[in-house]
Amino acid sequence: MTITLDDIEAGLRRVIDPDDEVVVLHSGIWRFGHSVRPLPKDFVDQLLDRILAVVGPDRTLLFPAYNSADFPRTKSFDLVRDEPETGALTVAVLRRRCAERSRQPMNSYLVMGPDSQTYLDSPSTTAWGDDSVMGLLERAGARFVTLGEVWHESCSYYHRSEEICGSPYRYYKRFEGDLLEDGRVIGSCSETFFVKSLNVHCDDFYAGPELLLRERKLTVDAGDPRLILESARVDDIVKVTCEILEEDPYYFVQNREDVEAWVEDGMLEEIAALAPENQYAGNADIIRRKESIQELR
Amino acid sequence: MSENVLNEICRETFEVDSFTAKPQTKVREVENWNSFAHIQFMIAIEEAFGVEFSTEEVQEVETLGELGELINARGGSFEWN
């Protein structure tokens, strides 16, 4: 079963609605590249050309350019040189310099199109909060497209719902460092994440919301059995995921007992042990809530 | 012989000047590895050894040792010197 660039382009045209003004495309060439024939050396660039042709100049297009692993260690984020961990397509966008990169050191986006500045200027008080890129994508009713990648690997918007719902196994941690542009320091940058425990491994599995989205006919499938190519509006993803989390805040956690025990007995201690530069004021509410529960007992 | 072919494919695909394959070498740790180069590498292996891998096998191969075993399991012939 081979796939061609024409198949992918046709699929993209099916999953992007004519009324969509903002598209955020997550991809995993890794998952389907082996079936592409012919597979030219510049396949990734050719694929990018096809995507740009389908999206067109009148829509705003974003690619996730996340790199969560390096910044806490290096304390520096280079807008040009730090390659995203989000796959070969995003790296190609970065190298072509056809998009601007937002300044969040761990959850940045490559953005192009008419409304780019809105996203580039997002205050992003927290990585998945109301004024973050994710929050803006939700408000804009942006079209999330997953090309090749399974939902639980590609759809990061579930985290937005975790933050909205105040998932009990997370707290805030701030990271800060230098902002660089092609090797030159141009300022500082920071990002505040709603993190899980460092001390107790949280075995999470982000499957489920896409099933409910499909059941409610809120997804669009390219209908090509050779390729995962599906879309949904970010606001629908966030809403459905919040519904799930309101019913069961630990829905995504596989080792619930361990994590619940840590939330009960270890979380406050872990927050208190944060280095000063990692502290974030938003944890005060979490601490107050937990202390009042303990007092009630 | 098999190792020479493997070395040559690694050099070409990952664009490295020299490469010496070892069974314990992790494919992802080869210099210049990225997800797309991995696919190109696996396709080049298929062509060189006259075998076909499934998409899952392409994703799951971790070490060159595993790759050698996979080539043999798919009817090809791979031997370490």
> Which CATH number goes with the domain that contains B64?
1.10.1200.10
Residue B42 lies in a domain: yes
- Which residues of chain A lie closer than 8 angstroms to B59, CB-CB? 30-31
Cβ neighbors of A70 (< 8 A, separation 6 or more) are A82
On the question of pLDDT at A289 being above 90, the answer is: no
The two structure tokens encoding residue A61: 């297009």
On the question of pLDDT at A12 being above 70, the answer is: yes
Residue B63 lies in a domain: yes
The two structure tokens encoding residue A185: 């320091």
The mean-pLDDT minimum among A12-21, A56-65, B28-37 falls in B28-37
pTM for the full predicted model = 0.92
End-to-end, the C-alpha distance of chain A in Å comes to 61
Give the mean model confidence (pLDDT) for residues A96-102: 97
On the question of pLDDT at A114 being above 70, the answer is: yes
Q: Which of A34, A43, A87 is nearest residue B55 as measured by Cβ atoms?
A: A34
pLDDT in tens, A31-57: 899 999 888 999 999 999 999 999 999
Cβ pairs A/B, distance under 8 A: 33
Amino acid code (one letter) for A120: L
The mean-pLDDT minimum among A62-66, A135-139, A141-145, B31-35 falls in B31-35
- Which residues of chain A lie closer than 8 angstroms to B35, CB-CB? 28-30, 33, 87-88
Edge-first strand order for the sheet with A184-195 is A76-78, A171-181, A184-195
The mean-pLDDT minimum among A248-262, A268-282, B23-37 falls in B23-37
pLDDT in tens, B34-78: 889 999 999 999 999 999 999 889 989 999 999 999 999 999 999
- Helix, strand, coil share (%) of chain A residues, nearest 5: 40, 20, 40
Residue B60 lies in a domain: yes
| Predicted complex ipTM | 0.83
Could you tell me which chain A residue has the CA closest to the CA of B34? A88
On the question of pLDDT at A30 being above 70, the answer is: yes
A44 in reach of chain B (CB within 8 A) = yes
Residue B81 lies in a domain: no
The two structure tokens encoding residue B19: 């490469």
B41 in reach of chain A (CB within 8 A) = no
Do residue B39 and residue A34 have CB atoms under 8 angstroms apart? yes
Q: What is the pLDDT of residue A297?
A: 66
A91 in reach of chain B (CB within 8 A) = yes
More confidently predicted of A278 and A296:
A278
Q: What is the pLDDT of residue A235?
A: 98
Residue B78 lies in a domain: no
Distance of residue B15 Cα from the nearest chain A Cα, in angstroms: 12
Do residue B38 and residue A31 have CB atoms under 8 angstroms apart? no
Residue B65 lies in a domain: yes
A41 in reach of chain B (CB within 8 A) = yes
Distance of residue A5 Cα from the nearest chain B Cα, in angstroms: 15
A34 in reach of chain B (CB within 8 A) = yes
Residue B79 lies in a domain: no
Residue B44 structural domain:
2-73
- Which residues of chain B lie closer than 8 angstroms to A41, CB-CB? 40
On the question of pLDDT at A292 being above 90, the answer is: no
The SS3 call for residue B79 is coil
pLDDT in tens, A266-282: 999 999 999 999 999 98
The mean-pLDDT minimum among A7-16, A157-166, A288-297, B47-56 falls in A288-297
| Beta bridge partners of residue A100, listed in sequence order | A111
Q: What is the pLDDT of residue A239?
A: 98
- Which residues of chain A lie closer than 8 angstroms to B34, CB-CB? 88, 91
Q: What is the pLDDT of residue A13?
A: 98
Residue B19 lies in a domain: yes
Percent of chain A past pLDDT 70, that is, above it, reads 99
A172 in reach of chain B (CB within 8 A) = no
Q: Which of A30, A32, A39 is nearest residue B43 as measured by Cβ atoms?
A: A39
Q: How confident is the model at residue A181 (pLDDT cuts 50, 70, 90)?
A: very high
A95 in reach of chain B (CB within 8 A) = no
Give the mean model confidence (pLDDT) for residues B21-35: 90
Counting the structural domains of chain B, the total is: 1
- Among A27, A31, A34, most B C-beta atoms within 10 A, so best to mutate, is A34
Are the C-beta atoms of A63 and A87 separated by less than 8 Å?
Answer: no
Extents of the domains making up chain A:
5-168+205-253
Summary mean pLDDT of chain A: 95
Are the C-beta atoms of A158 and A252 separated by less than 8 Å?
Answer: yes
